[in-house]
Amino acid sequence: MAAVLSATGQGSAGKPEELCLGGQPNAPVRIEVFSDFECPHCREFYLDTLKPLIADFTKEKRIDKIYILYHDFPLDMHPNARKAASYALAAKQISREAWLRVIDVLYQDQELWSQNGNIEGELSKVLNPAELARVRKLVTDPSIEQAVRLEVQLGQSREITMTPTFFIISQSGRQQRVNGSLGYLIVKDSLEQLLK
């Protein structure tokens, strides 16, 4: 799938730090990602592009040049995507660290749970029994489904129709929209140009 790039002069509304995959809110560049846990292109983008960006452009290397915000945008064509988003948001209620572990395992093991629907089996690999029990309880809370709905509505208000879709936003508010997955080196080069 080819990525489609467009640029506008408008920034987007900031989201709370709880949606942060990496970086700090005061970083010179913000990346907002709309993604679907069951989308193969989202998996590729998360594992091959976002994770290396977090490693190379955030505090792990003593720099904070980017701030990455993650939004769930489960597509109707993926039968387990909304359920996966609900589990991730339930894990976020426990802690940011639990949420990040759940995101990792959902993308890493996407082929398994997307075929058999056993999301909890994958979560048991990264959550201890007490955390998993809390997630099981939280995922049935109507507020979790409402949170997924709000994420989808946010994406729709931003005219998201495919995943992944992400926005690269500079401090000046200049925004670049990317529809589809881009490789690490392409995004890295674009970020380095923005950060000059």
For the segment 105-126, what is each residue's pLDDT rounded down to a tens digit?
999 999 999 999 999 999 999 9
Give the count of domains, the chain: 1
Please, are residues 48 and 183 in contact by the beta-carbon 8 Å criterion? yes
Asked whether residue 100 is domain-assigned, the answer is yes
- Quick one: what percent of the chain has pLDDT higher than 70? 89
Asked whether residue 117 is domain-assigned, the answer is yes
Residues constituting the chain: 196
What's the pTM?
A: 0.88
Asked whether residue 140 is domain-assigned, the answer is yes
Quote the CA–CA distance of 112 and 119 in Å, as a whole number: 9
For the segment 128-162, what is each residue's pLDDT rounded down to a tens digit?
999 999 999 999 999 999 999 999 999 999 999 99
Tokens of 69: 């915000």
Asked whether residue 184 is domain-assigned, the answer is no
> If you average pLDDT over each of 3-7, 104-108, 182-186, which comes out highest?
104-108
Asked whether residue 126 is domain-assigned, the answer is yes
Asked whether residue 180 is domain-assigned, the answer is no
Please, are residues 42 and 163 in contact by the beta-carbon 8 Å criterion? yes
Asked whether residue 49 is domain-assigned, the answer is no
For the segment 162-178, what is each residue's pLDDT rounded down to a tens digit?
999 999 999 888 899 99
Q: Which domain covers residue 106, as residue numbers?
A: 78-164
- Quick one: what percent of the chain has pLDDT higher than 90? 75
Sheet holding 165-170, edge to edge: 4-8, 175-179, 165-170, 29-35, 66-72, 20-22
Quote the CA–CA distance of 180 and 162 in Å, as a whole number: 7
Average pLDDT, the chain: 89
Please state, in angstroms and as integers, the Cα–Cα distance from residue 93 to each residue in 72, 74, 118, 185, following that order: 15, 19, 21, 34
Above 50 in pLDDT, residue 9? no
Asked whether residue 11 is domain-assigned, the answer is no
